[in-house]
């Protein structure tokens, strides 16, 4: 159980790295797919469905949380 908590802490720490909308969507999708595959494998949902769901959620969250650029 401790290793899953450590994995979750690492994944949350690197969530959606990037400066642009596209970079955040891609990195969020990759992190979401990886964590979804792990969660799907552990819970019995299945690795592929977990990865698909996690990737979609991660890409959406990464794109939605892109900070706005301020031009001075």
pLDDT by residue (tens digit) across 26-64? Answer: 988 998 998 899 899 999 899 999 999 999 999 998 888
d(CA 16, CA 67): 11
pLDDT digits (tens, 9 = 90+) for 4-34: 777 666 666 665 577 788 888 998 899 899 8
d(CA 47, CA 41): 5
Our count of domains for the chain comes to: 1
CB 19 within 8 A of CB 2: no
pLDDT value, residue 10: 67
Domain interval for residue 15: 2-64
The answer to whether residue 25 sits within a structural domain is: yes
* pTM of structure: 0.71
d(CA 72, CA 64): 23
The answer to whether residue 72 sits within a structural domain is: no
Q: How confident is the model at residue 71 (pLDDT cuts 50, 70, 90)?
A: confident
Cα separation values, 29 from 18, 33, 44, 61, Å: 12, 6, 21, 8
The answer to whether residue 69 sits within a structural domain is: no
């Amino acid at each position: 159980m401790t290793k899953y908590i450590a994995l979750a802490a690492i994944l949350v720490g690197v969530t959606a790295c990037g400066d642009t909308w596209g970079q955040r969507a891609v990195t969020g999708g990759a992190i979401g797919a990886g964590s979804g595959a792990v969660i799907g494998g552990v819970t019995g949902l299945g690795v592929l469905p977990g990865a698909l769901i996690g990737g979609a959620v991660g890409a959406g969250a990464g794109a939605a949380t892109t900070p706005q650029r301020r031009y001075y």
